[in-house]
C-alpha cells in the first residue's frame, strides 16, 4: 500500500500473532535502532513517503477541484467512497496527508477551506461575542448539515466553546 502513511501497530499484532508485550518491545527496539519510524499511530520504514500512482494522483486532483468548486457543500465521505474503491484509496490518502479535513457526519473540507472557515468564524465571534449555529450558518452561507460538524471540530480544537445553543471564542 504505497499510498498509506504506514501500518498501525495494532495491525502488526493481528498479522504477526505475537504476544503484545513482546511485539511492543520489538517495536521499541526497531525504533531505537532507526529501522522503523513511528508517525502518530503508524509505523513505517524511515525512507517511506506515501504516494499515489499517476492515475490516482490525477483522480486526487479531480476530487480536490470538486471540493474547491463548492467548499461548503462538497460531497460527503459516503458519496466519495460510493464512487468506487479507487476513490476510497485516494480519499484516505488525502485525509492522511492532511489535505482534506474529515469532520463528523462524513463532512469533508479541503484543509485550506477549513482554515478559511476557522478564521471567518473566529473573526465573527470576535466582533459579536457569541453566536448561534443559525447565525454562523448565515454568516458562512452554508447549511446546518455542514455548520454543526464544523463547529464541533472547532470546539474540539479549542477555537470555540459551546455554551447552551451559542458559541463563543474559547479562552486561551
Average pLDDT, the chain: 90
Q: How far apart are CA 50 and CA 89, in angstroms?
A: 12
How much is the pLDDT for 11?
Answer: 80
Q: In what order do the strands lie in the sheet with 131-132?
A: 131-132, 166-169, 160-163
Average the pLDDT over 143-150 and give the result. 94
Mean pLDDT, rounded, for 141-155:
95
Band the pLDDT of 5: cuts 50, 70, 90. confident
Answer for the pair 125, 131: CB distance below 8 angstroms, yes or no: yes
The torsion angles phi and psi of 146, rounded to 5 degrees, stand at: -90, -35
Distance, CA of 95 to CA of 102 (rounded, Å):
7
- 102 with 110: CB under 8 angstroms? no
Question: Of 155, 158, 153, whose CA–CA distance to 171 is shortest?
Answer: 158
Indicate whether 159 pLDDT > 90.
Answer: yes
Give tens-digit pLDDT for 81-96: 999 999 999 998 999 8
Window from 7-11, 46-50, 122-126, 133-137 with minimum mean pLDDT: 7-11
Residues above pLDDT 90, as percent of the chain? 70
Query: Could you tell me which residue, 15 or 167, shows the higher pLDDT?
Result: 167
Q: What is the mean pLDDT of residues 15-43?
A: 86
| pLDDT class of 18 with cuts at 50, 70, 90 | confident
**Which pLDDT does position 96 carry in this prediction?**
86
Q: What mean pLDDT is predicted for residues 158-163?
A: 94
Q: What is the pLDDT of residues 111-136, one digit of tens each?
A: 999 999 999 999 999 999 999 999 99
Instruction: Name the one residue in this structure whose C-alpha cell is 470546539.
Output: 155
Confirm if 4 and 96 have CB atoms less than 8 A apart: yes
Question: Which regions of 45-143 does DSSP assign to beta strands (E)?
Answer: 100-102, 108-110, 131-132
Amino acid at each position: 500500500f504505497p499510498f498509506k502513511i504506514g501500518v498501525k501497530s495494532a495491525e502488526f499484532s493481528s498479522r504477526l500473532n505475537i504476544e503484545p508485550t513482546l511485539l511492543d518491545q520489538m517495536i521499541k527496539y526497531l525504533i531505537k535502532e532507526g529501522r522503523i519510524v513511528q508517525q502518530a499511530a503508524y509505523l513505517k520504514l524511515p525512507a517511506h513517503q506515501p504516494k499515489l500512482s499517476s492515475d490516482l494522483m490525477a483522480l486526487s486532483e479531480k476530487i480536490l477541484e470538486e471540493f474547491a468548486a463548492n467548499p461548503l457543500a462538497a460531497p460527503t465521505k459516503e458519496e466519495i467512497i460510493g464512487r468506487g474503491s479507487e476513490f476510497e484509496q485516494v480519499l484516505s490518502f488525502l485525509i492522511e496527508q492532511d489535505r482534506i479535513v474529515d469532520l463528523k457526519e462524513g463532512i469533508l473540507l479541503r484543509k485550506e477551506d477549513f482554515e478559511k472557515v476557522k478564521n471567518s468564524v473566529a473573526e465573527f465571534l470576535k466582533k459579536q461575542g457569541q453566536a448561534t449555529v443559525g447565525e454562523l450558518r448565515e454568516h458562512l452561507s452554508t447549511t446546518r448539515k455542514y455548520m454543526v460538524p464544523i463547529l464541533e471540530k472547532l470546539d474540539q480544537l479549542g477555537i470555540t466553546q459551546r455554551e447552551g445553543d451559542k458559541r463563543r471564542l474559547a479562552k486561551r
